[in-house]
Amino acid sequence: MGDERKVLQVLKGETRFPPPIWMMRQAGRYLPEYRETRKRAGSFLDLCYNPELAVEVTLQPIRRFGFDAAILFSDILVVPHALGRDLRFEEGRGPMMTPMSPRDVEQLNRERFHVNLSPVYETVRELRSRLPRETTLLGFCGAPWTVATYMIAGHGTPDQAPARLFGYRDPEAMKRLLETLAECSAEYLIRQIDAGADAVQVFDSWSGVLDEASFDAYCVAPVAMMVRKVRAVHPQVPIIGFPKGGGSRYDDYREKTGVSALGLDWTVPLAQARRLQGGGAVQGNLDPMRLVAGGAALDMGVDAILEVLGSGPLVFNLGHGITPEAPIENVERMLRRVRGAWR
């Protein structure tokens, strides 16, 4: 089973050309069918916790474009929500939570964690039975640091200053918070794999704002702990690390954390990406704005990635999520360009 799942094969180190392709945030507001289902669900969180509708929106980009991987539809913030932190998504403002103080760290409640997340596990099980055999199913979670930035500030912030301050003022509380998140998130990934996920991705979207010591303590150490825990149960399942904005810190991230594959943001130079391929698969890294612009900007971006990275293990992807204003025609154009590349 799974022999024909190209994304899975590449994540394990094989080279395929043309490379298999999926897009971060491929189920989302740029699709009219997503907006329609989202309306039916009520709130965004209702959609995340409704297996029938979450399955539907996960399948939408697969039906429309035939991507080689489907990613579970959920959000990274269901983990703190399942630990008892409040969470709501406000139209146009993104996630809102009650900001956390160091004392709140001890109050995180793990008792109902898996019960609260059981709709997500059901979504994964249902997806594996409904997806085409050859489509890789990806599970995911947020990395502890990125999840912590929202828990501490209570909302998205431009520079994650509240979380950086929290760590400097109370390093012990920060350590306990990240350890708790790492343990719970590892269990969360293990359950997703039990339910049928072929591989998993750990999103560290805000790792780019940290100084050297903080990057090691907040990004590398907790993800390394998660990888050890997941591997102890599922040694063969690839884990994609995505330390967005990591810059030169990408160079030893795979070795230090133990992740199988590296998700690259669009600022990573292709020469560096090529070197990173020496250690295993890379995924990325088209600038999502090239997809919005279309035309020559899109074609040149696609071609450059294929030319430099196409001869090694590559999962074609964006360097971050697709944005709501990206035209569907441009997604189709990108797919034709990648899949027609052998001609």
Asked if 275 is an active-site residue, the reply is no
Pairing of strands 88-90, 94-96: antiparallel
Give the nearest residue (CB) to ligand CP3. Answer: 205
Contact assessment for residue 296 and residue 26, using Cβ atoms and an 8 Å cutoff: no
The tokens describing 24, both together, are 């971060």
Instruction: Give the nearer residue to ligand CP3 in terms of CB position, either 244 or 310.
Output: 244
Angle between the 51-65 and 328-339 helix axes, to the nearest 10 degrees? 60
> Least CB distance from residue 269 to ligand CP3, whole Å?
21
CA separation for the pair 289, 294 (Å, rounded): 8
Residue 144 φ then ψ, to 5°: -50, -45
Instruction: Give the nearer residue to ligand CP3 in terms of CB position, either 289 or 308.
Output: 289
Catalytically annotated residue among 68, 75, 204, 265? 75
Instruction: Give the nearer residue to ligand CP3 in terms of CB position, either 26 or 283.
Output: 26
The tokens describing 315, both together, are 């999962």
Catalytically annotated residue among 5, 34, 38, 191? 38
**Per-residue DSSP letter, 92:** T
> Least CB distance from residue 188 to ligand CP3, whole Å?
13
> Least CB distance from residue 25 to ligand CP3, whole Å?
4
Asked if 38 is an active-site residue, the reply is yes
Asked if 150 is an active-site residue, the reply is yes
Torsion sign across C-alpha atoms 195, 118, 233, 26 = positive
> Least CB distance from residue 18 to ligand CP3, whole Å?
22
Instruction: Give the nearer residue to ligand CP3 in terms of CB position, either 151 or 312.
Output: 151
* Site residues, ligand CP3 (CB under 6 A): 24-29, 38, 44, 71, 73, 75-77, 89, 94-95, 140, 142, 146, 156, 203, 205, 321
CA separation for the pair 71, 200 (Å, rounded): 9
- ω into 99 cis (within 30 of 0): no
Instruction: Give the nearer residue to ligand CP3 in terms of CB position, either 14 or 159.
Output: 159
> Least CB distance from residue 71 to ligand CP3, whole Å?
5
Asked if 75 is an active-site residue, the reply is yes
> Least CB distance from residue 286 to ligand CP3, whole Å?
15
Give the closest residue to 281 by CA, choosing from 247, 321, 323, 239: 239
**Per-residue DSSP letter, 108:** -
Query: Can you point out the beta strands (E) in the chain?
Result: 69-71, 88-90, 94-96, 136-142, 199-204, 239-243, 261-263, 282-286, 314-318
Instruction: Give the nearer residue to ligand CP3 in terms of CB position, either 117 or 312.
Output: 117
Question: Which sequence positions are flagged as catalytic?
Answer: 25, 29, 38, 75, 150
